[in-house]
Amino acid sequence: MQQKVLILDFGSQFTQLIARRVRELNIYSEIFPYNSKNYDVKNYKAVILSGSPNSVRGNEVLHPELSEIKGKKPVLAICYGAQYLAHFFGGKVGQSNSREYGRAYLSFIEKNNTLFQNIKEDSQVWMSHSDTIITLPKNAKKIASTKDVENAAFKIENEETYAIQFHPEVYHSTDGKQLLENFLVRIAKITQNWTPDAFIETTVKKLQEQIRKEKVVLGLSGGVDSTVAAVLLDKAIGQNLYCIFVDNGLLRKDEFKSVLMQYQNMGLNVKGVNASARFLSALKGISDPEKKRKAIGKTFIDVFDDEAKEINDVKFLAQGTIYPDVIESVSISGGPSATIKSHHNVGGLPDYMKLEIVEPLRMIFKDEVRRVGKSLGIDATLLGRHPFPGPGLAIRILGDITQEKVSMLQKVDAIFINGLKEWKLYNKVWQAGAILLPINSVGVMGDERTYEKVVALRAVSSTDGMTADWVDLPYKFLQEISNKIINNVKGVNRVVYDISSKPPATIEWE
């Protein structure tokens, strides 16, 4: 039986990382807002309290309901969670002399403490707080310190309640994974049985229970997410799954034909639909990126609705939505967090559609999707494809969309992607693509002045798209690709390379 971890979110930027680190230990975790009523604590073996941008000393204190948690379940309280346990259970929290942010090193660890088993003093940890615990709560003892933070970790006696002021979930806490394993496996006694195979078994069963003998229509994009979703659904309901692969006119060069053939060879019940003109018409004159996404999302739904009407008695629309899509579209804490960008496959369906949504991958990250796909036996070339945005090249063309611009960018993108493959760089990059900028640049070609378009090349490394670093591609490669683009794509006379990381930039420009 799957044993789960409950993560209560107080709005920390790192909450999703906690979930990923827990899952890397083959333990399933679920995130809920700190004040949610949508979970039953009896279903969880342990609870983790996240950090928060709020202060326990401020006017807007976030108060979780801990009566069925503290002292009754193993608890790991991180940063704000630790300060909350201190401040409201007999201790004292005050403002730090200086904001404690960045690397720190453990200077004291209590001997034989299970939470710090196999972790040495001087281990690097990551601090991110402006408050600090001055006095420990009642019946608590210090179990770790750093040079500047006396009470870096404490334990409530006679309870499996642990609190730490640093963030074990971030990469910079070098033994963070070990600490989480100590808490979850050694203290909470959770069995590490959440694997891709376990996810497949559970998900297929849930899909069969949800869908039964009804029919499902799924919009394939050619990407990893929708492909894995399709194979999961095919495994669950077989020929009752009707896949639709739409050519929206915004795909990569020759992608529609090649990917459609791959899907057919996989035995999926798939139909190809050419809706290029329909999408380009819907985008005509639109330059605002959010309006583009909305127009594309609406058109996708309209196309699916039309195609679904051709199939008798369809009840469900399946989507390859994954966790980062949900996080970027809607604040996971239900709070005032700003929407970064809309995703065409996140949200509801219009009232006129009589289809229910089914999303097999909604709560897993991109790297987890790939592992699931591998366990399903999906071809490595499909699983290894770089992520491609749902709105396609529409959000890589800054400004309004025309067929001429799409054709131009398709040619540029093909040269870039094929070049990465030829130089054996493709698998070293998480995502790559070209962006057509809304500016012209003066150039000289054949002793004549030109005034043509500028394209930007983008290549990043990442694991799940939540954060990303730009890739330091070889200068000779960039030189070769730049020359090929300018010499072979009419209308382009300048190529630039994007060296921005996420954050502060996003992976896509729009």
Q: Which residues are registered as beta bridge partners of 449?
A: 444
Which listed residue (79, 100, 160, 344) is catalytic? 79
DSSP 8-state code for residue 237: H
Cα 507 to Cα 341: distance, rounded to the nearest angstrom: 12
DSSP 268-327: --EEEEE-HHHHHHHHTT---HHHHHHHHHHHHHHHHHHHHHTSTTEEEEE----HHHHH
Cα 10 to Cα 333: distance, rounded to the nearest angstrom: 7
pLDDT attached to residue 341 = 44
Question: Is 87 a known active-site residue?
Answer: no
- Give the model's confidence band at 136: pLDDT under 50 very low, under 70 low, under 90 confident, else very high: very high
- What is the pairing mode between strands 46-49 and 4-9? parallel
DSSP 8-state code for residue 335: S
Which listed residue (87, 167, 343, 344) is catalytic? 167
DSSP 8-state code for residue 391: T
206: number of Cβ within 10 Å? 13
DSSP 432-485: EEEEEEEEEEEEEETTEEEEEEEEEEEEEE-SSSSSBEE----HHHHHHHHHHH
Angle at alpha carbon of residue 344, lines to 341 and 348, rounded to 5°: 105
Cβ-based neighbours of 448, under 8 Å, separated by 6 or more: none
Question: Is 480 a known active-site residue?
Answer: no
pTM for the full predicted model: 0.73
Task: Classify the phi-psi angles of 238: left when phi > 0, otherwise alpha if psi is within -120 to 50, otherwise beta.
Answer: left
Over residues 38-76, the pLDDT tens digits come to 899 999 999 999 999 889 998 889 999 999 999 999 999
Over residues 92-133, the pLDDT tens digits come to 998 876 556 778 999 999 999 999 999 999 999 998 877 899
In whole angstroms, how far apart are CA 497 and each of 142, 253, 396? Answer: 50, 21, 14
Over residues 19-38, the pLDDT tens digits come to 989 999 999 998 888 998 88
- Given a contact cutoff of 8 angstroms between Cβ atoms, the answer to whether 7 and 39 are in contact is no
Question: Is 79 a known active-site residue?
Answer: yes
CB-count burial class (<10 Å; 0-12, 13-18, 19+) for 48 = buried
> What is the side-by-side strand order in the sheet with 124-135?
28-33, 4-9, 46-49, 75-78, 161-164, 153-156, 140-146, 92-109, 124-135
DSSP 153-208: EEEETTTTEEEESB-TTSTTSTTHHHHHHIIIIIIS-------HHHHHHHHHHHHH
Which listed residue (100, 160, 169, 255) is catalytic? 169
- Give backbone dihedrals phi and psi of 114, rounded to 5 degrees, phi first: -65, -35
Q: Give the chain's mean pLDDT.
A: 89
Which has the closest alpha carbon to 466: 73, 152, 17? 17
Over residues 203-258, the pLDDT tens digits come to 999 999 999 999 999 988 888 899 999 999 999 999 999 999 989 999 999 999 98
- Given a contact cutoff of 8 angstroms between Cβ atoms, the answer to whether 9 and 209 are in contact is no
